[in-house]
């Protein structure tokens, strides 16, 4: 799942980016409020980690602007100031969760998984589509009760399909959900990963709709 981290502190931003990547997230990182709004307008983030004290536009202004535009992307705010008022203002402005610095990266990633889960209408920690079951925290997959060994990208691709079962996804949408800025993408990367998924799980898990995109049916095989 692709996450945007908005944090102006270089050391902290670097640490969050590395920690989330280590835990299987695809991560972009910007350091000010204006860049954050541009990035969110351009890319389909599953969630945003937003510092409140930022140059150019504050985290609170970014949040208010997103919600004014009816952008529903889940937002977790980071606050250094452990005051109740700060958290109340953030939550009232449309934040979905918060963490007070310093925080544990394991807790941050668990909270992000919970936010993404709620946003996609899947209250259970496991994502299930037909006979497929995926555990985003443990990063494991089973099909008809049998564990499947997938590469990191195959897992990410499957998670995107399962979170969007019943919806047609274009190749561009898939690529931007799976790759951060600056990552090399081979032109046929999505097709190669999908080929492997079909081979490892079932040829019918995802349909190719020529010229349109790809679809995992809601009642997957
Ligand atoms: Ca800051």
Ligand 1 mean position, distance from CA 210 (Å): 46
pLDDT score of 110: 95
Ligand 1 mean position, distance from CA 178 (Å): 27
The secondary structure element, H or E, covering residue 191 is helix 189-200
pLDDT averages per 10-residue partition of the chain, 221 residues: 95 96 94 97 94 94 95 92 80 93 94 90 83 91 95 94 93 88 82 95 93 88 66
Ligand 1 mean position, distance from CA 32 (Å): 9
Whole-angstrom Cα distance, residue 115 to residue 130? 23
Please give the backbone phi and psi of residue 129, each rounded to the nearest 5 degrees, phi first. Answer: -135, 115
Ligand 1 mean position, distance from CA 205 (Å): 44
Ligand 1 mean position, distance from CA 167 (Å): 38
Ligand 1 mean position, distance from CA 86 (Å): 14
pLDDT score of 180: 87
- Structure token digits, residue 40: 């969110």
- Structure token digits, residue 214: 């790809």
DSSP annotation of 167 reads S
Ligand 1 mean position, distance from CA 55 (Å): 8
Ligand 1 mean position, distance from CA 79 (Å): 8
- What is the largest distance, in Å, between two alpha-carbon atoms of the chain? 54
Exposure b/e, 52-86, CB count within 10 A at least 16 = b: bebeebbbbbbbebbeeeebebbbbbbbeeeeeeb
Which residues are placed with Cβ below 5 angstroms of ligand 1, an ion?
8, 51, 53
- Structure token digits, residue 22: 């280590």
Tell how far CA 84 is from the center of its chain.
Answer: 28
Whole-angstrom Cα distance, residue 32 to residue 59? 8
Cis status of the peptide bond prior to 102, with omega within 30 of 0: yes
Whole-angstrom Cα distance, residue 100 to residue 81? 7
Contact 57, 37 (CB under 8 A): yes
pLDDT score of 158: 96
Cα distances (angstroms) measured from residue 52 to each of 67, 69, 101, 199: 15, 19, 11, 45
DSSP code per residue over 30-44:
E-SHHHHHHHHHHS-
What are the structural domains of the chain?
2-119 (3.40.50.2300), 127-215 (1.10.10.10)
Ligand 1 mean position, distance from CA 64 (Å): 17
Ligand 1 mean position, distance from CA 26 (Å): 22
pLDDT score of 220: 63
Contact 127, 142 (CB under 8 A): no
Partners of residue 133 on adjacent β-strands: 128, 142
């Amino acid at each position: 799942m692709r996450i945007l981290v908005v944090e102006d502190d270089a050391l902290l931003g670097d640490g969050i980016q590395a920690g989330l990547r280590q835990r299987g997230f695809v991560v972009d990182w910007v350091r000010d409020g204006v860049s954050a709004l541009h990035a969110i307008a351009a890319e389909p983030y599953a969630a945003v980690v937003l510092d409140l004290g930022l140059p150019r536009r504050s985290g609170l202004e970014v949040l208010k602007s997103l919600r004014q535009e009816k952008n529903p992307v889940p937002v977790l705010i980071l606050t250094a100031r452990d005051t109740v008022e700060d958290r109340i203002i953030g939550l009232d402005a449309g934040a979905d969760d918060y963490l007070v610095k310093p925080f544990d990266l394991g807790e941050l990633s668990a909270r992000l998984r919970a936010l993404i889960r709620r946003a996609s209408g899947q209250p259970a920690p496991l994502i299930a589509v037909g006979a497929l079951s995926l555990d985003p925290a443990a990063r494991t997959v089973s099909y008809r009760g049998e564990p499947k060994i997938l590469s990191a990208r195959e897992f990410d691709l499957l998670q995107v399909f399962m979170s969007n079962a019943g919806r047609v996804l274009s190749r561009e949408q898939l690529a931007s959900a799976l790759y951060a800025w600056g990552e090399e993408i081979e032109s046929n990367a999505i097709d190669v990963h999908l080929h492997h998924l079909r081979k490892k799980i079932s040829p019918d898990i995802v349909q190719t709709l020529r010229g349109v995109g790809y679809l995992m049916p809601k009642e997957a095989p």
